[in-house]
């Protein structure tokens, strides 16, 4: 990769800072930061050159843009990057609605750009093992799946007012459906395309926010399998797990431990995560893959089409 060209980071929240630190750990040293406000920057960003106009930042010809600003601002930044011929790492969900997504897809294809969507659970060793089990037909044809993710919003960023974060504000693309959208991607990745969807949503968690804080979503897959996804901002302690029921067995995955268990041919087996595994490894691996795609012109593991389908 051309190390003389900088990487442009859009967004100074926790995920923007994480990506910066991981890029630095991967050996990247040349950055630009685009921001619209002038509040004090976090210490790790204090020495990075700053532009306050996106056009000026793109005029410095960054090789890639990391789009990590609030969800409702994703598409404007990504479209500007694509117009400028800049590769894009686009945090999930790709936007708060479908406006502009087909234009972005067209530009990415026309200009031969790498666009990777930040659904980092695709890099989880447990879920990768689940995918192998399904590809090997370990539990037979998939009949149904359930994903459950509950996590108390005020605990996400201690010391910050959760009501001021993008996750809690409709104008910034918040709400539990968008913010905790990972299961909609990894279930598509594991089980296949979704043919229809319906949901009920609630806002009775007592958080004092203007967006939905809980949802139950029903999925019909084109394969004939059915699914249920429960997500909420309320549950304490946090819980994130998944179950896949097949005609001849079952697969269980737990996010907190990373453990995969499956029952097939009359017995239980299990697979643990590698020794020393921790959550940031998912973000490191997805960023390493993004940089590799730029260098080798390889296909992204999570494409603009994947982002559009998860959002839709």
Task: Give residue 10's Cα distance to chain centre.
Answer: 16
Which backbone phi and psi does 290 adopt, to 5 degrees? -60, -50
* Residue 118 neighbours by CB distance under 10 Å: 25
Pairing of strands 267-271, 260-264: antiparallel
Q: What is the mean pLDDT of residues 158-176?
A: 95
Q: What is the mean pLDDT of residues 146-170?
A: 96
Q: What is the mean pLDDT of residues 84-100?
A: 98
| Residue 37 banded pLDDT, cuts 50, 70, 90 | confident
| Residue 298 banded pLDDT, cuts 50, 70, 90 | confident
**E-strand stretches of 167-303:** 194-202, 214-221, 226-232, 239-246, 249-254, 260-264, 267-271
Q: What is the mean pLDDT of residues 59-71?
A: 97
Q: Using CA atoms of 89, 158, 171, 197 in order, give the dihedral in degrees to the nearest 10.
A: 70
Mean pLDDT over the full length of the chain: 96
Residue 139 in contact with residue 244, Cβ under 8 Å? yes
- Alpha carbon distance 67, 8 (integer Å): 9
Over residues 213-223, the pLDDT tens digits come to 999 999 999 99
DSSP 298: P
CA atoms within 13 A on the CB side of 117: 28
Residue, of 4 and 132, whose pLDDT is higher? 132
Over residues 259-273, the pLDDT tens digits come to 999 999 999 999 999
Question: Three-state SS for 113?
Answer: coil
Residue, of 24 and 12, whose pLDDT is higher? 24
Over residues 277-288, the pLDDT tens digits come to 999 999 999 999
pLDDT attached to residue 1 = 67
Residue 48 in contact with residue 59, Cβ under 8 Å? no
Residue 145 in contact with residue 139, Cβ under 8 Å? no
pLDDT of residue 56 exceeding 90: yes
- Alpha carbon distance 296, 103 (integer Å): 25
pLDDT of residue 228 exceeding 80: yes
pLDDT attached to residue 59 = 97
- Alpha carbon distance 102, 306 (integer Å): 12
Q: What is the mean pLDDT of residues 27-32?
A: 96
pLDDT of residue 40 exceeding 80: no
pLDDT attached to residue 67 = 98
* Residue 217 neighbours by CB distance under 10 Å: 19
Q: What is the mean pLDDT of residues 215-236?
A: 98
The lowest-confidence range among 32-36, 143-147, 286-290 is 32-36
Question: Which of 111, 81, 85, 110 lies closest to 94 in space, CA to CA?
Answer: 81
């Amino acid at each position: 990769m051309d190390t003389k060209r900088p990487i442009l980071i859009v967004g100074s929240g926790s995920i923007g800072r994480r990506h910066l630190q991981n890029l630095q750990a991967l050996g990247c040293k040349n950055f630009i930061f685009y921001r619209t406000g002038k509040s004090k920057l976090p210490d790790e960003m204090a020495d990075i050159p700053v532009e306050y106009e996106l056009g000026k930042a793109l005029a410095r010809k960054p090789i890639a843009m990391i789009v990590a600003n609030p969800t409702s601002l994703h598409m404007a930044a990504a479209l500007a990057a694509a117009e400028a011929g800049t590769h894009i790492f686009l945090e999930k969900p790709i936007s708060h609605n479908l406006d502009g997504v087909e234009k972005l897809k067209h530009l990415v294809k026309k200009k031969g750009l790498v666009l990777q969507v930040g659904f980092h659970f695709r890099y989880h060793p447990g879920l990768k093992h689940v995918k192998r089990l399904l590809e090997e037909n370990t539990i037979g044809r998939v009949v149904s799946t359930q994903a459950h993710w509950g996590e108390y919003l005020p605990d996400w960023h201690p010391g910050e007012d959760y009501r001021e974060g993008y996750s809690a504000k409709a104008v910034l693309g918040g709400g539990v459906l968008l913010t905790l959208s990972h299961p909609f991607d990894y279930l598509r990745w594991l089980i296949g395309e979704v043919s229809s969807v319906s949901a009920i949503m609630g806002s009775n968690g007592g958080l004092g926010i203007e967006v939905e804080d809980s949802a139950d979503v029903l999925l019909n897959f084109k394969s004939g399998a059915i699914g249920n996804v429960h997500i909420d901002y309320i549950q304490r302690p946090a819980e994130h797990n998944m179950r896949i029921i097949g005609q001849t067995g079952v697969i269980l995955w737990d996010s907190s431990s990373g453990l995969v268990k499956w029952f097939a041919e009359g017995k239980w087996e299990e697979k643990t995560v590698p020794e020393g595994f921790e959550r940031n490894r998912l973000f490191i691996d997805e960023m390493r893959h993004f940089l590799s795609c730029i260098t080798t012109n390889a296909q992204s593991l999570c494409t603009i089409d994947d982002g559009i389908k998860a959002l839709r």
